[in-house]
Structure 1
């Protein structure tokens, strides 16, 4: 059976197929055959019945592999945490899989709605998938004795995709510690296979590095600049505290829990300890958030709001990282002038535009002056991130050469690979 590669993150929110079934059985209490079949039906019903496709394909891959029953049984028992052994009910593993195959025959997905342009499939050739998975099997310690060899055989002879998900399921079932370096590699495989993000990280015993906001593991935006983007795009309208609290929990999948809050705290600390006036901070927030949260209509000025952000960030840190003491690193003053030059170059265009032009508009010139104060008196890194936000808010078209310059400046700050493209990539124009 050849697997039909999919953009799985469009279909599922978490695990799927035979590995998802194993996960359900691992968390069940003494499941019998009836309960096991009920769990299979639940997995198959996922995504309005699309789950049956991956379940059937996984089963067929194992049955067609020709692997001995002992190999299949070793992997299955480990993945289910030995909660469901078909031998207890008079079946070997192949008989159990055949019974499932009769219920969920392998088939191609007939139709799938695409919401945006496709990227090529597969992004990893099958051989590359197998080798990447086998590498991770071999570095995973504390696995049950017969499991590594069984997983390697499944990855090689049956399907690398399934081998990867079974490895993850076993790591979670047996609470195997996973070093941050290995976790990053697992996430690289996850991304290339188009899995939903939680499939790897949820339930995995990751040995996180100490919380350190100066370490930039995040690929995208962070801190006050990403907070302003969130308020500009919230579908519902949360209160100021609710919106900030939600943003403070959005750690990137590569980050130590609490990093989002630590980065928010760092930005607010620098702004609150700068000489920027309350009016300047108010103008700054309203501009970069595109009036997504109208603090001037809520009886708050910019300093009031930043104190709220700081308080909520510290609450989050006390909850997830109680031993962490917020530390604010040195300002990158060497990059102050390049950021000011970028803002000055864009000023003639920004000055012709207005934020929220149809309601309580904020002149582009006022936003620019506030940005320059941030760069000069608070932090050029934060000033640059907020500059990118303002370009986005005002939809300023960018020549490709200028866009390349912005990418290069982001690299000097150590920003993640998707930060600038996500912020302003859609504004870059073909020459």
Structure 2
């Protein structure tokens, strides 16, 4: 199947094309061509797909009216559906053929080491048709006949448009889907290269209860994620805005509030731990690459942890009011392995300093603080903060050590992109 030069997630930060047009806010301009707006060029592409699909006029009209919640009927404006689609197609015609290229196209935005998926239209159509079949009974109760119209759209106009119309129909009809079905939609959206808003915005999902023991994220999380956000330029926001951004950064497959619950658990563990304020300060400064010093804001490190905790509670009251954070369960699994790696790297850590030119943190002090976290607080948290310190110290790693870190990450249930944050430091000559 034909792919755009750039992935859709590069071009659009929400739904697009005809499905995006149907999802426009109430009071937005009528869905007729009148000047360029973001996504309009894809409306032209989608319009041609439907015009060339062979679908009956009434079936296309049904698909559109359902997706658009009946707000705009071309027939009510003196047009047929086909003349309306033709107007869009003519307003945004296909671009002229490109000159032959002597090398494979490489996106200026998406790195070439992220290989773009190779899609086979027949396979993608079968996958989308299977998803229509899975929710057919719910769709039939909401709008009789719409499931068959969606099948025809997939067969005639293609899997891409058919899938987006399915998602729009589910949202309009308030059809609730389970997490497993939602995760399947995310897999398909990855293949089509949509941004996740195409899936999530407006889709009703029966999420499982919040559970901080469930590791279903892909990226970093908790205090280690917050520390990483202070390790880069952040001064265009307040420190609490950075915390709110972290607390609200639920991964696409996570129950709303998960990021806040995980961050709250980390800071609660540290706040209640026997670690001294000096040790906690060393730990925070090393993990955040000295990006924020709590004492510069009129408080100590435990007050800073409490401020983080309150932001998390605020987020949970908003999105998961029924969640009652239980006392963090004590964990010891993995402690020996993390301590072994820490102690093995101790000489190299002691030879380096976090931010050596400005009130830096000696690597030896950071290592001692990390050992206390692993033994007295939580090995999982200690391991994640260990990785942050390695990044702050620009610590070279052997491929063998990195492989052991990957194995530890898998043991803790971490997502595939958490440990990979340090793969930039692998050196083959060590």
TM-score by length of 1: 0.91
- Counterpart of 2:57 in structure 1 is 69
CA distance in 2, matches of 1:75, 1:341: 60
CA distance in 2, matches of 1:388, 1:108: 49
1:114 aligned onto 2:137: no
Aligned pairs (5 A) from 1:338-357: 338-357=337-356
RMSD of aligned residue pairs (Cα, Å): 2.2
How far is 1:265 from its partner?
Answer: 1.1
Quick check: 2:22–2:64 contact (8 Å CA) kept in 1? yes
- Counterpart of 2:404 in structure 1 is 405
How far is 1:325 from its partner?
Answer: 0.6
Quick check: 2:44–2:90 contact (8 Å CA) kept in 1? no
Tell me the secondary structure at the aligned position of residue 138 of structure 2. coil
1:14 aligned onto 2:6: no
Unaligned runs of 5+ in 1: none
Q: Deviations over 1:354-404 (max 9, x none)?
A: 101110011000000000000000000000000011111111122212111
Tell me the secondary structure at the aligned position of residue 333 of structure 2. helix
Of residues 397, 406, 427 in structure 2, which corresponds to 1:429? Answer: 427
CA distance in 1, matches of 2:304, 2:71: 52
Quick check: 1:178–1:206 contact (8 Å CA) kept in 2? yes
How far is 1:290 from its partner?
Answer: 0.5
Quick check: 1:53–1:107 contact (8 Å CA) kept in 2? no
1:45 aligned onto 2:37: yes
How far is 1:15 from its partner?
Answer: 1.0
CA distance in 2, matches of 1:374, 1:290: 18
Of residues 138, 145, 150 in structure 2, which corresponds to 1:142? Answer: 138
Unaligned runs of 5+ in 2: 99-104
Tell me the secondary structure at the aligned position of residue 23 of structure 2. helix
Q: What count of residue pairs does the alignment treat as equivalent?
A: 418
- Counterpart of 1:315 in structure 2 is 314
Cα 1:85–1:147 shift into 2, 3 Å: same
Cα 1:158–1:237 shift into 2, 3 Å: closer
CA distance in 2, matches of 1:362, 1:390: 10
Of 107-116 and 122-131, deviating more is: 107-116
- Counterpart of 2:296 in structure 1 is 297
Aligned pairs (5 A) from 1:247-396: 247-396=246-395
How far is 1:113 from its partner?
Answer: 6.2
Cα 1:221–1:120 shift into 2, 3 Å: closer
Quick check: 1:355–1:393 contact (8 Å CA) kept in 2? yes
Cα 1:319–1:120 shift into 2, 3 Å: closer
Quick check: 1:335–1:380 contact (8 Å CA) kept in 2? yes
Quick check: 2:267–2:305 contact (8 Å CA) kept in 1? yes
Quick check: 1:6–1:121 contact (8 Å CA) kept in 2? no
TM-score by length of 2: 0.91
